[in-house]
Amino acid sequence: MAAAADTTVDPADLRFGRIGFAVLTALATVTTIGAFTTLDFGTPARPAPGFWIGCVSVATLMLVVVALVNPRIAVDGVSRITRADAAAVALAVPLLALTPSLLTLLGLTVTTALVCLYWFLVITRTRPLFSVIGAGAITAGIVIIFIELLHVPFPLGTLTGIR
């Protein structure tokens, strides 16, 4: 069974999984070192704020290393990122990263409309007319539900002066 499973491991998947777990190992190492150097560990009888984090980070680091070195674990559930996926996600990341600032500057209504329009046109490559109609409809629905019905207190956009 195990031998059969090993023969089905795709080398590209294994490489991808190992790169991912190498990054996680680096992060877990930094976290563990950070926990032991920046926080007070205390003793089991008097555990300080770093005690819990230290224990959990060490356990996590050990598990990540196990996943890194064991090919069957490293490859399990791996789904490689294709060029098309990477390109689409790369287009989405700047918009998503800017969204918190846009909400403050433009308010909910304009930000929602812009995000929807961008997502329709650039990410899902929808036709322009449908994108405009879709973005307008979604924005109207959001405004009606969240602002008009639920009265969620969204702030006024500092540039637009509207919610």
Partner 1 sequence: MDVLQNLLDGLQLALGAENLLFVLLGVSVGMMVGVLPGLGPAPTVALLLPITFGLEPSTAVILLAGVYYGAMYGGTITSVLLRIPGEAASVVSTIDGHEMAKQGQAGRALGLAAIGSFVGGLIATCCLVLFAPALADFALNFGSPEYAVLAFLGLILVAYTSAGTMAKSLVAVGIGLLLASIGQDPMTGSSRWAFGVPELMSGIDVVAVIMGLFGLSEILVNIVDNRRGESTIRQVGRVLPTGRDLRDNAGAIGRGSIIGTGLGLVPGGGGVLASLVSYGTERKVSRRPERFGHGAPEAVSGPETANNAASISTFIPLLTLGFPPNGVLAVIFGALLIQGVTPGPALISDHPDIFWGVVGSMVVGNLILLIMNIPLLPVFVRIARIPPAVMATLTVAILIVGAYSINGNTFDVGVMVAAGLAGYLLRRIGVPPAPIVLAFILGPIFETNFRRSLVLSDGGFDIFVSSPTAIVLLVAAIAVLVSTALPMVRQRRQALEAED
The distance of closest approach from Cβ of residue 127 to partner 1 in the complex, given in angstroms and rounded to an integer, is: 9
Helices (H), 46-155: 49-69, 71-75, 83-118, 128-142
The distance of closest approach from Cβ of residue 8 to partner 1 in the complex, given in angstroms and rounded to an integer, is: 14
The distance of closest approach from Cβ of residue 139 to partner 1 in the complex, given in angstroms and rounded to an integer, is: 7
The distance of closest approach from Cβ of residue 163 to partner 1 in the complex, given in angstroms and rounded to an integer, is: 11
Q: Quick check: 82 binds partner 1 (CB under 8 A)?
A: yes
Bridge partners, 47 (sequence order): 42
Residues 25-64 that bind partner 1 (CB under 8 A): 28, 31, 34, 38-39, 43-53, 56-57, 59-60, 63-64
How many binding residues for partner 1 (CB under 8 A)?
80
Which CB, 36 or 73, lies closer to partner 1? 73
Cβ-based neighbour number of residue 100 at 10 Å = 10
Q: Quick check: 106 binds partner 1 (CB under 8 A)?
A: no
Q: What is the CA radius of gyration of the chain?
A: 24
Which CB, 42 or 161, lies closer to partner 1? 42
The distance of closest approach from Cβ of residue 162 to partner 1 in the complex, given in angstroms and rounded to an integer, is: 15
Residue type, 24: L
Which CB, 19 or 161, lies closer to partner 1? 19
Residue with the two structure tokens 């109609």: 133
The H-or-E segment that residue 19 falls in is helix 11-38
Residue 104 to residue 156: CA distance in whole angstroms: 8
Residues 118-157 that bind partner 1 (CB under 8 A): 119-120, 123-126, 134-135, 138-139, 142, 145-146, 150-155
Residue length, the chain? 163
CA geometry: angle at 131 spanning 128 and 136, to 5°?
130
